[in-house]
Chains A and B, each alone.
Chain A
Amino acid sequence: MAEKAENIEAELTEEKELENLVQFLSFTLGDEEYGVDILRVQEIRSWEPVSRIPNVPSYEKGVVNLRGAIVPIIDLRERFGLGHVEYSPLTVVVVLQTLTELGQTRTMGVVVDSVSDVIDVDKKTIQDAPNFGTKVSTEFINGLASVKDRMVMLLDVEKLLKIDTLDDEDENI
């Protein structure tokens, strides 16, 4: 009996812990490691040539045909000002999804160097993004997590996917 009770207790605490756990997909850009909420990830694809869109910032690589939908591809390295690398067959596109205020889903692909892992992060251990002043833009960073002594920057997918609409508004003015 006592054993059983212990078991149940253990399960309960485990569940409690699980409640606090969030899973992130981590990937690298140069030496830096980033993470996105795994529930936002639709799929991971290899890089394939895109159709270029004229007169847009260079980090907006273009659009691809994703099973009939036209999906923009954004280079995160360039977006974050980490320089450009030649794309290789190992270059990975992470397709992210978000819900807009209008209830529609928006899909976007981001080019990253490589996908590393799925990490479990305890919500409580997530640190706020440090403020670097204006030098480094931290607007897309939700927080920092530490996984096996590595620092992972957790990205805010909503903001990330919104950037192009914001740009759009700016351009129209």
Chain B
Amino acid sequence: MSIDMAQFHQVFFEESFEGLDIMETGLLNLDMGDVDAEDINTIFRAAHSIKGGSGTFGFTAVSDFTHVMETLLDEMRDGRRQVTQPAVDVLLGSVDCLKEMLTAIQDEQEVDVASVAEYKKALEVELNGSESEEAVTDESSDVSAIESNTVNTGEKKWRIAFSPHTDLLKTGNDPVRMFRELGSLGELTITVDFQGVPDFYDLDPEECHLSWNLELVGDVSESDINDIFDWVEDECDMAIQLISDPVENNNSSTTEEQAIEVAPPKEVKTESTNNASPTNVAKPTKKTAQKPAAKTSSSIRVDTGKIDTLINMVGELVITQSMLSLVGEQFEMNKLDQLKNGLSQLERHTRELQESVMNIRMLPISFVFSRFPRLVHDLSSKLDKKIELVMVGEHTEVDKTVVELLSDPLVHLVRNSLDHGIEMPADRLAAGKSETGTITLEAYHRGGNIVIEVKDDGKGLNKEVLRAKAIEKGLIDENTNLTDKQTYELIFMAGFSTAEKLTDVSGRGVGMDVVRRNIQSLGGNIEIISELGKGSTIAIHLPLTLAIMDGQSIAVGDERFIIPLGSIIESINIKESMINRVAGRGETFRLRDEYLPIVRMHEIFDVKTVQATKLTDGLVVVVDGQGMRCGLFIDDLLGQQQVVIKSLEANYRKVEGVSGATILGDGSVALILDIPGLVRLSNQ
């Protein structure tokens, strides 16, 4: 019986990464001094499943490593060891290390053995710190032996008495598989004990009545053997005995071996990246690790509840369909009501079905938020700042694509807040604020949008400094008048940084422009509210989903366009008195106390069949695109509808002023307007 294990790898990786997240969150939540045993248990369980899984799939490097972590956690769980900050830090580091190992394995790349060994050593030091010096070296020699099957530290002879409980087979464990695995570790001699087998009449073929005596000769440690029997621990009686250990390793030779062990991997690493220039040896590994990741992220875990709703809905749909076909088969005019009923049912079910299908793609924003406690924890200790992270609305659901693309911009914003926003504790006290700064991550729905806010109570943005900096860098003219909003938006310009010195956290002035571009590519926008001395808030507005949106269809001549409903502020009939002509050909109109430019749709889209050329004849739709407001002059408003966004670029290309296309009810194609693009177009 051989199953292709590779088909389960993807699931294993997903579970392991989830497990790692659980471990990380658990570790960060540990409260020194008052540790909840259940927290440790959760972490332990996650580590245990990763160990078990990696053992099953033959990723021994991972299972060995996790084993050491597990041992440490086990002692903490049993209360044999105090939970200390250094220990937690080491564990956190190990979680990172595991993540790297798993990513490397997933991408079928070399595991960076050197760093793994380093973390492992740190773990062992932590593990054995309280024990005698001798024990430390002994243990590490043992582990280094596991690491390298090539280094021959001597043949050991183990005797294993293995007598499983009768229901071992029912749990899906197969002794033969375990023996085969044992056999791969060294030379294995097996003797079977038939004594327990009952009479043929009493024999239940699904029970296991055999027991085994195994003798294993080879360079194997006890933990290796334990790993194999890991899954059946509770379902068997087992005794492992070391019969002979001919080579008593002396410590000096072990350390030497370790040194050898550590050196070669570096060579491997440089070799694998030797086509890159030598200056960025470290970078390529990161790059290559990211590339395949995008490829593998094509699966999604869905709450079974959502699937159930979907199935119900499909059931309803089938019923409606059969009812309608019954009506259709023998249609008479008196059945008209029935038909209309059926159709309205069909409409309702279709809409519900659509909603549930869209729901499947929705993930809670906590997928992105969950990484921040760690980030804040690490960075704040690095920067010597005291920061508390508050997260609100983690359960807000967003489209999967948005979740994936949102994480990088958010990381950037949080880092910025940490580095530039929150002041040093002393400065905070001097400013009359509490020593600990607060960063709030908040997500909520508003209209058809999701809003994500990164708020800090730090020093806020200094308009004067921003302005001076922009003038210094030649980004704006000295005489330019800027509104508050425009001043804040300066930070989104490329090459703009107000940080006095560069840190590796932020301050290079690349980034905010990238953040804005990323958000815009998702169809969202970003705005800043800031008060000097009190803090700043950066709010990201994103559409809930990228595939379907609410649109307002409009008519310009005999052509139809769709304006995203979210960007419409209002639609008005303007009067002659509201119109002002600006030098040249520009036109503005006054809306309450604001002068807004008018964009004549038929002119910029060159529509020849236009009906209204006088501004007072048509309608003006006031739209907001990334903070720029303007009035679109159109012929008529048609109706609101949900539109499915289709890409123009798939078969065609990008068109200025158009963000995509959709198919209307009559089968024709309507273009979806890209408001910021239109504004740009009209300025040309």
Contact = CB atoms under 8 A, between A and B. Distances in A.
A64 B651 contact: no
Nearest to A107: B651
B89 to A, nearest CB: 44
Interface stretch (A2-10, A12-20, A68-76): A68-76
A72 B661 CA distance: 12
Contacts of B185: none
Interface in B595-636: 604-607
B582 interface: no
Contacts of B605: 54-55
Nearest to B646: A70
Contact of A65 (B654, B658, B667): B667
B511 to A, nearest CB: 24
Interface string A13-52: 0000000000000000000000000000000000001111
A70 B653 contact: no
B652 A70 contact: yes
A71 B663 contact: no
Given A51-B559, A54-B657, A70-B669, A164 B652 contact: yes
B222 interface: no
Interface in A97-154: 104, 106-108
Contacts of A168: 653-654
B651 A108 contact: yes
A82 interface: no
B76 interface: no
Nearest to B647: A70
A157 interface: no
Contacts of B652: 53, 63, 70-72, 108, 164
A69 B646 contact: yes
Nearest to B556: A54
Contact of A68 (B559, B604, B653, B663): B663
B648 interface: yes
Contact of B669 (A56, A63, A167): A63
Interface string B661-684: 101000111110000000001000
Given A55-B605, A65-B663, A164 B648 contact: no
A62 B671 CA distance: 11
A56 B656 CA distance: 10
Interface in B233-271: none
A164 B650 CA distance: 12
A51 B670 contact: yes
A88 interface: no
B192 interface: no
B657 to A, nearest CB: 7
Given A51-B668, A51-B670, A70-B648, A56 B655 contact: yes
Contacts of B560: 51
Nearest to A97: B651
Contacts of B661: 51, 63, 70
Nearest to A171: B656
A51 B661 CA distance: 10
A55 B680 CA distance: 14
Interface residues on B, range: 20 to 34
Nearest to B654: A168
A55 B651 contact: no
B638 to A, nearest CB: 15
B653 A51 contact: no
A63 B658 CA distance: 13
A63 B663 CA distance: 11
A112 to B, nearest CB: 18
A65 B671 contact: no
Contact of A55 (B606, B648, B663, B669): B606
Interface in B443-459: none
Given A64-B669, A68-B663, A53 B651 contact: no
B651 A72 contact: yes
B650 to A, nearest CB: 7
Contacts of A107: 651
B562 to A, nearest CB: 11
B559 A52 contact: yes
A62 B558 CA distance: 14
Nearest to B644: A68
Nearest to B670: A51
Nearest to B661: A70
A164 B649 CA distance: 11
Contact of B653 (A50, A65, A164): A164
A104 B650 contact: yes
B668 A65 contact: yes
Given A54-B657, A55-B606, A69 B559 contact: no
A71 B663 CA distance: 12
Contacts of A50: 669
A10 B667 CA distance: 53
A106 B651 CA distance: 5
Interface in B488-528: none
Contacts of B648: 63, 70
B669 A51 contact: yes
A103 to B, nearest CB: 13
Contacts of A71: 651-652
Nearest to B667: A65
B560 to A, nearest CB: 8
B135 to A, nearest CB: 58
Nearest to A66: B651
A96 B598 CA distance: 41
Contacts of B657: 54-55
Nearest to B663: A65
B656 A55 contact: yes
A165 to B, nearest CB: 6
A65 B669 contact: yes
Contacts of A69: 646, 650-651
A106 B657 CA distance: 22
Contacts of B654: 168
User: Interface centre among B606, B652, B658, B668, by most A CB within 10 Å?
Assistant: B652
Contacts of B671: 51, 53-54
B23 to A, nearest CB: 38
A55 B655 contact: yes
A170 B681 CA distance: 17
A168 B559 CA distance: 24
Contacts of B681: 55
B371 to A, nearest CB: 31
B321 to A, nearest CB: 21
User: Interface centre among B605, B646, B653, B658, by most A CB within 10 Å?
Assistant: B653
Contacts of B663: 65, 68, 70
A89 B668 CA distance: 18
A170 to B, nearest CB: 11
A167 B654 CA distance: 11
B651 A70 contact: yes
Given A53-B652, A53-B671, A55-B605, 18 more contacts: A51-B560, A51-B668, A51-B669, A51-B670, A54-B604, A54-B606, A54-B657, A55-B604, A55-B655, A55-B681, A63-B652, A63-B661, A64-B669, A68-B663, A71-B651, A107-B651, A165-B653, A168-B653
For the complex of A and B, 5 pairs with smallest distance between CB atoms: A54-B605, A51-B669, A72-B652, A168-B653, A65-B663
5 contacts: A52-B559, A54-B657, A70-B650, A70-B661, A164-B653
